[in-house]
Structure 1
Amino acid sequence: MSSSDEASREPSLLDAACEAFVADLAELSPTWATEWGLPGHDGELQDFSPEYYDALGERTREMVMDVDAFDEATDSSDDEDDFDDVDQVTAAALRDRLGVFLDRHHHAEDLRDLNVIESPVQTIRDSFLLMPHETAEDLEAVRARLAKVPAALDGYRTSLDDAAGHGLVAPLRQVDAVNTQCEELADTGSVFEGLGLDPDSREVTAAKEAFGEFADWLNEHLAPVAPHSDAVGRDRFELFSHDHLGDVVDLDEAYTWSLERIAELRARQEEVAAELYGAGTTVRQAMHQLNQDEHYTINGTEALQEWMQGVADQAIVHLDGTEVDLPDEIKTIECRIDPAGTGGIFYTPPSDDFLRPGRMWWSVPEEQKTFHMWQELSTVFHEGVPGHHLQIGIGLAESSLNLWRRSVTWIAGHGEGWALYAEQLMADLGYCDDPGFRMGLLDAQRLRAARVALDIGVHLGKKTPDGGVWDSSYAKTFLRENTAMAEPNLVFELDRLLGWPGQGSAYALGERMWRELRDDALDQGMTLGQFHNEALRRGSIPMSVLREDLLD
């Protein structure tokens, strides 16, 4: 089906079923509705109880049955209810995504879900970041959701307790880290005090107290039964890898490839170090000197935010109409500082109606006052344009796709893989010709390759490159050797990788899939701009599904 045909395409029965599915998910999970920008749910909050997870599982099973029923009705009679090309892609993506979701539910991965970056504690906290805080109505929604925080944490505690009764407990590292996050949410200066309500109001006070009690419960009840090992084992890791990557890959081959990739990138960094500061300069010495160079230094979060915005705005002007066609709705991006201070950098998409713009967030640790442009330029491209903002925005603006395809489905292998592809694209366009910025890009690429090795190495119990055993101590040393990341960020990075199996490796493995697909598309006669436009307007789908739909 051509682009013009899809632009005038009438929604199908499968599209209608997807729209109903999203509406039901928004009802069950109000924080998802907030994330997707769907109105009417900001004052609500799911309770994260076993009954909540069962309801999600049941609704997902119903959707799978709907897909199968519609597909069985498709025949060769050219009936108007048959699947068209868009439906075929939607059905393939649904079967993959919903199948993995149900596998996780069947193995009670939802009940035991606790980690430092993507579990109910962060979902609750971050949902308030996405909510508007301008009008009286906005603040009443904030007040209403805050009032439901104690019940949500009670339900979450029940789920964790049920899972623990079956020996299913997150590693101690994650329990301790989330405990610290909960204590910070309960303490003076909590992010809940900055939501526009009176910091001493009943709702703010109750939410803070609930997080304090939850922290105590984690420390007293869950920590004593939490395993000390961070590894999840091959069976669980294969499920997580499929979930995050969107496809099944040979994990042993990927591990070997990552170590080869690290060696290649290290050699290239050594060449840049010599170019910067002369023969014999080590990579570490070059990075140290770059950090002392005022040309690459930013002081203070206000200057950091201004720099981020300028880079993002310039990229939009440069790329539009040449490397990709930007819809008008996404020609604006907002760069902000996240008050949580976890050390992460992330992107939040526009609302479905684009009234809430896409935003790039930098969660700056309190003690960090200095930032280094040479190291961070590629990150701004990754999170903004041509990375996540471009990728998500183009899919969101695609009128031929239903709401599930546009706003809901997200696959790290596709999304993070594209964002890494986008970093290299900007280098190919000359943005990293400066050797300092080139060192920063290579440092980012080396980190992503190191994530593959660490992720697979720890969780599958692989041998280290020197023949030892992958454990948290080795993993931290390995990270420090393969990135210029500041210590507070590195600590968070380690906890994140160990607690979110399969996600860290999806970046570089996803980029490898994107580059292979790009090369094959160009071999078939596409221009680079055509490839970008055609691939991105299909939304976030498994790379194998994208390949089959895009190529002849």
Structure 2
Amino acid sequence: MTTETQHRTPSAIDAVAEQHTERLIEMSPALRVELGRPGDETVLDDYSPAGAAARDALNARTLAALDEAEAAMAADGTAPDAVDAVTLDAMRERLGVERDLHAAGLDIGQLNVIASPLQEVRELFDLVPTETTADWEHSAAKLRAVDTALAGYRESLLAARDAGRAPARRQVERGIEQAREAAKAGGHFDRFVAKATAVPEALAAELAESAKTARTAYVELAEFLAEEIAPHAREEDACGREDYRLLSRAFLGTEVDLDETYAWGLAELERIDAEQRRIAERIAPGTDVLAVMHDLDADPAQQLHGLDALRSWMQEKADAAITALGGSAFDIPEPVRTIECMVLADGTGGIYYTPPTDDFSRPGRMWWSVPAGVETFSTWQELTTVYHEGVPGHHLQIGQAVVVKDTLNTWRRQICWVSGHGEGWAFYAEKLMAELGFLDDPADRLGMLDSQRVRAARVCVDIGVHCGLEAPESVGGGIWDADKAWEFLTANVAMDRSFLAFELDRYLGWPGQAPSYAIGRRLWEQAREEARAAAEADGRAFDLKAFHSRALDLGSVGLDTLRRALA
């Protein structure tokens, strides 16, 4: 057991973190739903400029309180322990970058295809409890509150527009499409209330009317985007190097050399391509990689048909990984040995994880949001995704942090999330499963390499487009743009074109996030090798299992904080 997992008495630093967390929970009904906390069930988050200003003010107060608490400890002759040192480092880094984003106007008016208020409001209803009549009464109130939440979002979009920060046209057009889809009769909200099959008739009628109110709010959002934002939308997809540098730091918790990282991404693609060719030759001598992938997709033994089959397969593979890895490569706490796999119809194409509640009464969940009409899935390509979202990926990473109540404050366990750390770990987990022998089947290994190739291509496209870098000669050279990015992706990524089109829209509208997977994995691997070198320099054998436990017990922190803590 590492120092981080031993019981300790909460400190003044922990108290500041807990106060910050409680205030965040008060401010965010969505966070309360995610954490399973009580609170006003009739409201949704405030997406207006005033809401952003309130969060910034909270960050400022918390940073000042951390300084005061540390100074008071010093005056008493008390030094922060190892846990406090990481909390101070992590909170100053995270809240500091959030304040920088606010000062730059980058925390309001965001619009993209996957992670903006347009999606967040809708997706909240995938997580709300629905077991009791009271739960459904609360949901009726939340559905009626969609109008207010989206009104605040419209305020932010106008403020960003008026400040010269209107979204790119591509994102506006896709946002209009998504808003109209959410507004459809029989769509997301109507399907949600249709699950209320055991409530009183009056409540059922109220839910139906509340769903109609939510749909109307999305009709109004679509009209607003078309009339007020689209005429001012920028034609360029690129956000520019200055904004990108800040956004990249927000997603990574460190600042990287963007030009060196771009060159590394291109080199990674070459490395992966060579290994894919070797695997393809092993599967079907004399056949190129794309032909082998096509044959695998057509192989009935590699296919799943229907959403029920997909969910069952995900659950089987996720459970098997937990059984196989517990006690060997990882210490898996008992509450984390349960994961629930979920499939959403008529979705966006995203695959994601939602954490357990604090008491694990709602387990961690792996979600596959399947686009309408997609009914066939290739297991060779997706097994590595199960490891990414499940164990040893997000489910172990996040679940283990939730478990260590005796050591970490709530902000460390459940609030702080850094994409480069979290997605970097999950991507590291994919490669680790190959190292541990779980992807020895050539088809599964080819799928893992395809996942690596997608992530490397993201680095090139994302940094290349948003920073205006020189594109490879394979796509005509010159400055990167969306057309070159599409040509590059279709040449390098073996993904269904409908999924790939969504992915490109995602990269173009969410600068800095997509590269955090590969960059994060790179930095995780560097941290592991630094720990190995340190152990060997001391004459000790490197213990991989102990390294994983120590690292995961820290919770999700910025990558600079991670490396300092592990050192």
TM-score normalised by the shorter chain: which range applies?
Answer: over 0.9
Question: 2:208 matched to 1:192?
Answer: no
**1:541 — aligned with what?**
557
- Kept in 1, the 8 Å contact 2:5–2:553? The answer is no
Report the residue type matching 2:181 in the other structure.
Answer: E
Q: Distance in 2 between matches of 1:213 and 1:339?
A: 24
Separation in 1 of the partners of 2:515 and 2:160? 27
Instruction: Tell me, yes or no, if the aligned pair for 1:414 and 1:543 is still in contact at 8 Å.
Output: yes
Any residues of structure 2 matched to 1:195-274 within 5 Å, and which?
195-196=192-193, 197=196, 198=204, 201-274=208-281
Residue 543 of structure 1: how far off its partner (Å): 2.0
The AA in structure 1 aligned to 2:499 is N
Output the CA distance in 2 between the equivalents of 1:293 and 1:5. Answer: 48
> Deviation at 1:5?
7.5
Deviation at 1:339, TM superposition (A): 3.4
1:314 and 2:320 correspond? yes
Counterparts in 2 of 1:127 and 1:255: CA distance versus 1, 3 Å: same
- Alpha carbon RMSD of aligned pairs, Å? 1.4
Q: 3-state DSSP class of the match of 2:480?
A: coil
8 A Cα contact 2:350 2:369, kept in partner: yes
- For 1:51, the equivalent position in structure 2 comes to 50
- Could you tell me how far apart the structure 2 residues matched to 1:188 and 1:147 are? 16
Q: Which residue of 1 aligns with 2:501?
A: 491
Determine helix, strand or coil for the equivalent of 1:148: helix
State the secondary structure of the residue aligned to 1:524.
Answer: helix
For the residue of structure 1 that corresponds to 2:374, the secondary structure is: coil
* SS of equivalent to 1:337: strand
> 1: CA distance between counterparts of 2:241 and 2:36?
37
The Cα offsets for residues 100-123 of structure 1, whole Å up to 9 and x where unpaired, read as: 111111111122211111111111
Determine the C-alpha separation between the residues in 2 that align with 1:304 and 1:416. Answer: 23
Q: In the aligned structure 1, how far is the partner of 2:245 from the partner of 2:565?
A: 25
| Alpha-carbon distance between aligned partners in 1 of 2:463 and 2:314, rounded to the nearest angstrom | 33
SS state of the match for residue 377, structure 2? Answer: strand
Contact 2:146 2:217 in 1 (8 A): yes
Q: CA deviation at 1:42?
A: 4.2
Q: Identify if the C-alpha distance between structure 1 residues 308 and 161 changes in structure 2 by more than 3 Å, giving closer, same or farther.
A: same
Question: Partner of 1:21 in structure 2?
Answer: 20
Look up the match of 1:142.
139
Identify the residue that residue 539 of structure 2 maps to in structure 1: none
Aligned twin of 1:388: 394
Structure 2 matches for 1:356-505, cutoff 5 A?
356-399=362-405, 400-466=407-473, 467-505=477-515
Residue 274 of structure 1 and its aligned partner are, at CA, apart by 1.0
Match for residue 285 of structure 2? 278
Distance 1:47 1:253 in 2: 39
1:486 counterpart letter in structure 2: D
Which residue does 2:200 correspond to in 1?
A: none
Residues of 2 paired with 1:339 and 1:51: CA distance? 35
Distance in 2 (CA, whole Å) between partners of 1:508 and 1:5 is 27
The separation in 2 between residues aligned to 1:328 and 1:472, in whole angstroms, is: 46
Q: Once the two structures are aligned, what percentage of the paired residues are identical?
A: 45
Deviation at 1:6, TM superposition (A): 5.1
Which of 535, 544, 547 is 1:528 aligned to? 544
CA distance in 1, matches of 2:3, 2:353: 31
1:44 is displaced (CA, Å) by 2.2
TM-score by length of 2: 0.94
Matching residue's letter, 1:383: E
Q: Which residue number in structure 2 is paired with residue 161 of structure 1?
A: 158
Which segments of 5 or more consecutive residues in structure 1 lack a partner in the other structure? none
Q: State the SS of the aligned residue for 2:19.
A: helix
How far does residue 41 in structure 1 lie from its aligned partner after superposition? 4.4
TM-score relative to the length of structure 1: 0.97
Q: Is the 8 A contact 2:346 2:372 kept in 1?
A: no
Q: Which residue of 2 aligns with 1:510?
A: 520
Deviation string for 1:215-264 (max 9, x for gaps)? Answer: 01101110110001110111100000000011011110000000001011
Distance 1:531 1:384 in 2: 19
Between the aligned partners of 2:309 and 2:369, the Cα distance in structure 1 is 14
- Counterpart of 2:175, as a letter, is V
- 1:47–1:154 Cα contact (<8 Å) kept: no
Q: What does the per-residue CA deviation read over 1:176-198, in whole Å, with 9 as the maximum and x for residues that have no partner? A: 11111110110022211122354
Structure 1 pair 177/475, CA: closer, same or farther in 2 (3 Å)? same
Contact 2:4 2:550 in 1 (8 A): no
- Deviation, 1:468, is 2.3
Q: Return the alpha-carbon distance in structure 1 between the equivalents of residues 304 and 414 of structure 2.
A: 35
SS at structure 2 position matched to 1:209: helix
Q: Which residue of 2 aligns with 1:30?
A: 29
**Consecutive unaligned residues in structure 2, runs of 5 or more:** 197-203, 536-541
Q: Is the 8 A contact 2:462 2:514 kept in 1?
A: yes
Query: Whole-Å Cα distance in 2 between the matches of residues 375 and 59 of structure 1?
Result: 44
Amino acid at match of 1:260: A
Residues 328-379 of structure 1, C-alpha deviations (whole Å, 9 max, x = no match):
1111000011235101110001012211100000011111111001100101
Q: Find out whether 1:109 has 2:109 as its counterpart.
A: no
